[in-house]
Amino acid sequence: MSIQWFPGHMTRAKRQIQDKLKLIDIAIELLDARVPLSSRNPMVDEILHGKPRLIVLNKSDLADPKTTEKWMTYFAHEGHECVSVDSSTGTKVGEIPIKAREILQDKINRQISKGINPRAVRGLIVGIPNVGKSTLINKLAGRSIAITGDRPGVTKGQQWIKVGTQMELLDTPGILWPKFEDQLVGFRLAMTGAIREQILNIDEIAYFAIKELADRYWPALQERYDLETPPSDIEDNQEIVRIMEDIGRRRGCLIGGGRVDLEKASGIILRDLRAGKLGRITLEAPYDNMPVRKK
Ligand code: GDP
């Protein structure tokens, strides 16, 4: 999917989600566990408009488990229930319907006390492109479903997908957009593979990746590429390029005269990172000085 959001697209996407919200009991906000902030839509609170919400940190198989724990605590402080899953294997996706029911338990109890037999909880998965919405819907459904993007006429022709007996999901997820104005967000999403390389230059993405990895995960970088000296200063461009060149040399990316083919080296670095070859890596941690919005 190409990602180019213009104000008109954003307004339409927001309206489409808001139409679907009328049909559901709970929104399932899907984030990438490696970049929970960058994969989060900046207007999500406004868009979901107080709808009960479960936050799901997806791709947790690729993320640093300790930092994922910190994020779960962070979101709990924000007043949200949160689970971490791996939708590609289905690990822990079974917690989603259980948590969703827990969140809605008061409402369910009220229905029971009025003598109403509560129906299955109805949910909508929302998230930015490539965060894993289709993969998760398929896992929850237990079968392969052709998931289309938003069709015109939004609420017409949508299907409910059964997740066990207690939950139903809308078959078209809500597509949100990331925060593109922030260059850092763009680079982090590109590093995880959420944004196509045509949009950002591959050398630049790899440069940025090395800078972030040298800062947070130097031992992983050092071990993978058999590197010797860490950068003396990660803000020094030449030092980062030196590391990229070292990696290129180790991987035989040479062009005449002993020079390193940086583009080839960049491709290797990004492929390794995305495939988890550098280990489980999270690019954003909840910092102490981050605002915590209590509900
Ligand atoms: P969508 O655009 O949000 O519907 O995203 P997709 O479901 O198409 O997933 C985008 C890519 O991420 C695909 O290559 C999936 O195989 C991969 N993916 C989705 N969930 C996970 C996960 O939990 N772990 C890993 N490793 N890959 C995942």
Domain boundaries, the chain: 8-171, 201-274
Q: Is the pLDDT at 152 greater than 70, yes or no? A: no
Task: Judge whether 47 and 17 are in contact, CB under 8 Å.
Answer: yes
Model confidence at 182, pLDDT cuts 50, 70, 90, reads confident
**How many whole angstroms separate alpha carbon 130 and alpha carbon 39?**
10
State how far the alpha carbon of 92 is from the alpha carbons of 26, 29, 279, in Å: 19, 16, 20
The pLDDT tens digits for 194-251 are 887 666 789 999 999 999 999 999 999 999 999 999 999 999 999 999 999 999 999 9
| Closest residue by Cα to residue 127 from 172, 94, 181, 97 | 172
Would the CB of 67 count as within 6 Å of ligand 1?
Answer: no
Q: Could you tell which of 17, 128, 130, 195 is best to mutate to test the pocket of ligand 1, judged by most ligand atoms within 8 Å of the CB?
A: 130
The CATH code for residues 201-274 is: 1.10.1580.10
Q: Do domains 8-171 and 201-274 have the same CATH topology?
A: no
**Can you give the pTM of this predicted structure?**
0.92
Tell me which CATH code domain 8-171 carries.
3.40.50.300
Task: Please state the atom number of ligand 1 nearest to the C-alpha of residue 129.
Answer: 2
> Relative to the CA of 60, which ligand 1 atom is closest?
23
